Every structure is written in C-alpha cells, then in structure tokens.
C-alpha cells in the first residue's frame, strides 16, 4: 500500500496564484502571515503557503486530496498526481532503467547502473526530486537521493563499475567507448534479470539512453535473460523515472570511487575534462610516472597524451550516420 502524500511543491504563475487565493478565501481557509510568503492558508489538515519566489508548498495529512481534487483540476489544470495511470499508463509500467556515469570524466571509472521500478516505487518518488543526475549540482544531494532509491521498498538495483585498468584494456581491444557502454548496459540488465524473483510484477521492458547511432549496438550485446524483455533506446531517456534513478546511482558510485582513487597518491582527482584536469594529470605523471596513469585515468583521452608530453593523435571528422565515436569518446583523437 502506497503511503499518502503529505508534502507537495510546485511553481504557480501569477494567474494561478490569484485563482488559488480566491478559492482558498471562498472555502473559508484561515489566512496567516508567513515570512517571505505572499499568502498562506490553513484548514482542517492541510496548509498552503505561496512564496514570493512563486513556489507553492502544500503540507499536511490532506495534501494528497487537496492536490488531486483542487490544485490539479482547478488551478494547474493538469493531472499528474491523481490521474497519471489514466493519462500516461506507461509511467507505472514495471520496467528497468539503465544509465552510466564517468563517460566524460578523464579520471575515474565508468559506472553503469540499473534500477527496477513499479507503480509503488514511482509514486514513492513523486515529490522526492528523483531526476537526471546531470541536473543535480551537489554531490551531497546525489548521495541523499541514492540512499533514498536504495532504501525504497520494491526497488531493485544493480551497479557495475569498470575500473580504469579494466576500462583501458577494454578500450585497447574494442577501440570504442560505445562498445564498452553496450557491454556495461547489457551486463547490468542481465544482473537485474537474475533478480526477477524480487520484482513484483516482473519488468516488461528496459529503457536506456541511445548513445550509439545504431541501436543494434546494445541489442547485440544483450545476454540470454536480457533478450527476454523489450529494449527501448531513446535520446533524453533520463526523463523516465527509472533511468533518472539509475543515473543517480551511477553518479553516486562514480563520485565515491573517484574520491578513493586519489587517496593512495595523496591527490584529489577532479571530475570532467578541463584545463584543471590537464594540470592535475601533468602533475600526476611528474610525481608518479606515466605507467601509473592507467590506474586512475582513461588513456584514450587527449588529456593523457598531453600529460605525457606525447603528440596528440589526429582528429577524425564526425559524419552523420557513422558511429558516434566523437560524441562518446571525449577528447579522443
């Protein structure tokens, strides 16, 4: 049984705020002063506060009823909380979401995560802020949401971390980040499908971002159990709650592993690929030698060549329809 919603936040336009205030007054809500609020009303077991910033906060035991039967149909004029199953039934389908982190980071591993969700899980996250990790600027907030995801009843998850030395071996053999990603996605889907006994009901599909021009790249990498469900690849797949949750778990794993990776060398390894990363890479090689770089970094990045004082490989022009190597091999020659 899903726990009723007791807190809800959204943004209101000026006309919506005016209409809400009029409705609250007409229904006999008791108005009170709240710091930084335009207006605040209370009645029975629901409190409504509209702030100067345009943010509306609804709290109390009757929050869910207020949102479903007043706020959405009368003020927002959209149905998200109360009628999602009717308007967007795919939101509640039992499914797997898969995403990765670390692909564009010179230092650190490549982490791929997968998450199983069902209707109860999706509803449990409705006001929790589970979204694409790229839209979350704080590592602390990513960590908090990752903990929430892992602790949600009914949610099943798996994370595969490809350490730098293994990653570099794979890249030398496969010569493509897309192929490494395809293996990672396929491995996570297989690991999750091995836990089907924990999934009620079982998943009907797996959703991931389309990182390769050819969708068959992942399809061919799927293992036996992964071939039993539908695979959907689409751009901006992180808009799906399952994929968003996977992106959070993958980023949390990446951040934790990156922090540990630099400890033996007395370094704090930066994220991404930038001038700062270049400087740290050069210092690393100067202090610890080029042979140690493979333990902490992705050697196909141009940063690795610059750090070792080696000539950078020529850039290859990307062509529409070709494999998206330029898009998925940052800083690659």
pLDDT over 90 at 166, yes or no? yes
pLDDT over 90 at 247, yes or no? yes
End-to-end CA distance of the chain: 54
Position 79 scores a pLDDT of 61
Cα(102)–Cα(115) distance, rounded to whole angstroms?
Answer: 18
Cα(201)–Cα(265) distance, rounded to whole angstroms?
Answer: 47
How much is the mean pLDDT over the chain?
89
| Average pLDDT of the segment spanning 241-258 | 97
Half-sphere exposure of 190 (CA within 13 A, CB side): 13
124-128, 191-195, 252-256, 267-271: the lowest-pLDDT one: 124-128
pLDDT over 70 at 318, yes or no? no
**Residue-wise pLDDT tens digits, 189-208:** 999 999 999 999 999 999 99
Contact between residue 196 and residue 152 where contact means Cβ atoms under 8 Å apart? no
Position 179 scores a pLDDT of 96
| Average pLDDT of the segment spanning 124-150 | 90
pLDDT over 60 at 8, yes or no? yes
Handedness of CA 223, 224, 226, 227 (dihedral sign): positive
**Residue-wise pLDDT tens digits, 43-88:** 989 999 999 999 999 999 999 889 888 898 889 876 665 555 544 5
| Average pLDDT of the segment spanning 138-157 | 96
**Residue-wise pLDDT tens digits, 218-227:** 999 999 999 9
Domains of the chain, with CATH numbers?
A: 7-87 (3.30.310.10), 96-258 (3.30.420.10), 265-328 (no CATH)
Cα(279)–Cα(306) distance, rounded to whole angstroms?
Answer: 10
pLDDT over 80 at 183, yes or no? yes
Percent share of the chain, pLDDT over 90: 71
**328 confidence band (pLDDT: 50, 70, 90):** very low
How far lies 146's CA from each of 6, 119, 127, 212, 284, in Å?
Answer: 21, 19, 15, 27, 31
pLDDT over 90 at 30, yes or no? yes
**321 confidence band (pLDDT: 50, 70, 90):** very low
| Average pLDDT of the segment spanning 302-330 | 68
Position 326 scores a pLDDT of 39
Percent share of the chain, pLDDT over 70: 90
pLDDT over 70 at 130, yes or no? yes
pLDDT over 80 at 95, yes or no? yes
């Amino acid at each position: 049984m899903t726990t009723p919603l007791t807190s809800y936040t959204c943004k209101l336009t000026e006309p919506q705020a005016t209409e809400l205030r009029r409705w609250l007054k007409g229904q006999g809500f008791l108005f009170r002063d709240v710091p930084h609020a335009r207006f605040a009303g209370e009645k029975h077991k629901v409190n409504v506060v509209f702030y100067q910033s345009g943010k509306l906060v609804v709290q109390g035991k009757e929050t869910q009823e207020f949102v479903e039967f007043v706020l959405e149909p009368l003020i927002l004029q959209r149905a998200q909380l109360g009628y999602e199953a009717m308007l967007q039934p795919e939101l509640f389908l039992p499914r797997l979401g898969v995403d990765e982190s670390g692909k564009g980071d010179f230092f650190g591993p490549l982490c791929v995560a997968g998450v199983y969700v069902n209707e109860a899980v999706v509803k449990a996250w409705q006001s929790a802020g589970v979204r694409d990790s790229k839209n979350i600027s704080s590592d602390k907030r990513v960590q908090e949401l990752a903990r929430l995801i892992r602790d949600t009843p009914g949610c099943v998850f798996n994370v595969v971390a490809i350490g730098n030395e293994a990653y570099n071996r794979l890249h030398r053999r496969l010569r493509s980040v897309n192929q490494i990603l395809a293996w990672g996605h396929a491995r996570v889907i297989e690991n999750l499908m091995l836990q089907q006994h924990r999934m009620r009901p079982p998943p009907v599909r797996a959703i991931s971002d389309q990182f390769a021009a050819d969708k068959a790249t992942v399809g061919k990498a799927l293992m036996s159990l992964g071939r039993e469900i539908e695979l959907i690849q689409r751009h901006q797949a992180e808009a799906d709650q399952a994929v968003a949750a996977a992106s959070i778990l993958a980023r949390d794993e990446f951040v934790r592993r990156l922090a540990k990776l630099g400890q033996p060398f007395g370094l704090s390894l930066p994220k991404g690929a930038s001038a700062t990363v270049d400087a740290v890479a050069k210092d690393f090689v100067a202090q610890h030698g080029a042979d140690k770089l493979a333990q902490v970094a992705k050697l196909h990045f141009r940063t690795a060549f610059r750090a070792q004082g080696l000539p950078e490989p020529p850039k290859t022009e990307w062509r529409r329809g070709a494999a998206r190597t330029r898009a998925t091999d940052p800083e690659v020659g």
